[in-house]
Amino acid sequence: MLLCLWGCLRSLTDPLLLSICFVSSPLVQGSPRGAVTAREMSRAQDRLSPGQALWKKFRPIEQLKEEFEKLNMKMETDYEIMVKLISKFNSSASTLDEKVAALYDLEYYVHQVDNAKDFLSLGGLRLVIEGLNSSEATLKEHAAFVLGAALSSNPKVQIEAIEGGALQKLLVILATEQPLAVRKKALFALSSMLRHFPYAQQQFLKLGGLQVLRSLFRQKGMEPLHQMEEKRQQYQQVRLVPAVLEQDWCAVGPRLLALPEHDSREKVLKLVAALMAVCRERYRGDPALGTALSLLRSEYEQLAAQEQQDGDMDGYFGELLGSINTIIQELR
Ligand SMILES: *[C@@H]1O[C@H](CO)[C@@H](O)[C@H](O)[C@H]1NC(C)=O
Ligand SMILES: *[C@@H]1O[C@H](CO)[C@@H](O)[C@H](O)[C@H]1NC(C)=O
């Protein structure tokens, strides 16, 4: 008690310490406020080493304050670090290696939803979208990596990114000759962009995204062109399978089958068929895909019958029905 009084006197200039000191005295311990503070104090006291026991009466409050300050500091630190990394990446004085290192570190921070929002408000998102345009392959690769991480499960970033033109830039990367590492990260960013974001999925189709993907899976490798078709599956399995599986393309295709336009469905069916070798097991385990295919089959059976009645024996709907039946057969 003496110690406490001394502490109280000593801390007269500090209202927080003073009030806690008073409510911790036995006289006011019955009040709710006193109860809470006492519990907090005893919890803090548990962390004291035996040597500090003498100071029990008021020392814990200082410790609480200290811990609180540490917490505050940590919250500031992520933000501050991102500010530094963004300006490092943005600075014309930085070397290529420094910029790549800044992106590499940023990728770690933007995984967190709150950090990703800060990244957005700091202008970092715009910078990495511009980075997709870089003439340096390694900058493109790391910019796409940061973008994909920031987009993951973050609708706010998804909207800003699509408005900032990220989708077009990613498709340009995927449609052009690029090192495999760049394409992989671009695929990663693209799938983060499309995941749970129907608007982006529509835009993807409008911009010819499926054709881009199909030609990506067919891209010129070391093989002469005439062997391509035959080598395609092999190529797919050897080089692109990790990217495809990692980025969950097996799930994106079937989800897009719900689109209402025949033209979009035709493209999605081609994608599903193109990925059959890689995704067969995933497709088989996906009851929604089975249901979607059966529904489409009955719809196109009717349309194809109508088409035939109208005298068109090799019509568009008949062709779609053919692709659906092939897929269903391959999934048996
Ligand atoms: C990047 O640098 C430019 C030119 O120095 C500056 O105008 C811009 O505000 C910077 N952007 C960010 C997000 O720091
Ligand atoms: C960036 O890429 C877009 C196409 O995605 C192109 O229209 C634009 O000119 C490019 N800008 C620069 C600075 O390269």
pLDDT digits 0-9 by tens, 37-88: 344 444 444 454 555 555 555 556 677 677 767 766 655 578 999 999 999 9
Is 110 in the same domain as 180?
A: yes
Q: Is residue 177 assigned to a domain? A: yes
* CATH number of the domain residue 180 falls in: 1.25.10.10
Angle at 256 between CA 253 and CA 258, to 5 degrees: 135
Element of type H or E holding 291:
helix 287-309
Do 110 and 232 belong to one domain? yes
Q: How confident is the model at residue 178 (pLDDT cuts 50, 70, 90)?
A: confident
pLDDT category of residue 227 using cuts at 50, 70 and 90: very low
Closest CA to 65 of 73, 75, 55, 76: 73
Which ligand gives the minimal distance to the CA of 130? 2
* 94 Cβ inside 6 Å of ligand 1: no
Which of 279, 303, 320 terminates a domain? The answer is 279
**141 shares its domain with 215:** yes
Q: Are residues 41 and 162 in the same domain?
A: no
> So what's the pLDDT on residue 36?
39
Amino acid 238: pLDDT: 42
Hey, whose CA ends up nearest to atom 12 of ligand 2? 133
Please give the number of the atom of ligand 1 that sits closest to the Cα of 86. Answer: 14
Q: Where are the alpha helices (DSSP H) in 122-208?
A: 124-131, 137-151, 155-163, 166-175, 180-194, 198-206
Residues 191 and 237 in one domain: yes
**Domain check: are 123 and 209 in the same one?**
yes
Predicted structure pTM score: 0.55
Give domain status of residue 299, yes or no. no
Work out the end-to-end distance of the chain between its first and last CA atoms, rounded to an integer number of angstroms.
Answer: 82
For atom 9 of ligand 2, the residue with the nearest CA is: 133
Residue 219 neighbours by CB distance under 10 Å: 18
Of 244, 261, 279, which closes a domain?
279
Compute φ and ψ for 119, nearest 5 degrees: -55, -40
My answer on whether 215 and 83 are in the same domain is yes
Identify the burial level of 262 via C-beta atoms within 10 angstroms of its C-beta, where 0-12 means exposed, 13-18 middle and 19 or more buried. middle
| Ligand with minimal distance to 166 CA | 2
In a shared domain, residues 157 and 274: yes
Q: Is the CB of 127 under 6 A from ligand 1?
A: yes
Residues 204 and 111 reside in one and the same domain? yes
Domain match, 8 and 117 both: no
Total domains, the chain: 2
Q: Which ligand is nearest to the Cα of residue 128, counting in written order?
A: 1
CA 295 to chain centre: 32
Mutate to test the pocket of ligand 1, among 90, 118, 119, 146 (most ligand atoms within 8 A of CB): 90
CA distance 290 to 120: 40
In a domain, 314, yes or no: no
Whether 236 is in a domain gets the answer yes
Looking at ligand 1, which atom is closest to the CA of residue 87? 14
Same domain, 167 and 241: yes
CB 122 within 8 A of CB 83: yes
Q: Tell me the residue range of the domain where 34 lies.
A: 2-48
Mean pLDDT of 181-209: 85
Tell me, yes or no, whether 191 and 83 share the same domain.
yes
pLDDT tier, 228 (very low <50, low <70, confident <90, very high otherwise): very low
Looking up tokens 């310490």 gives 17
Reply yes or no on whether the pLDDT at 234 is more than 50.
no
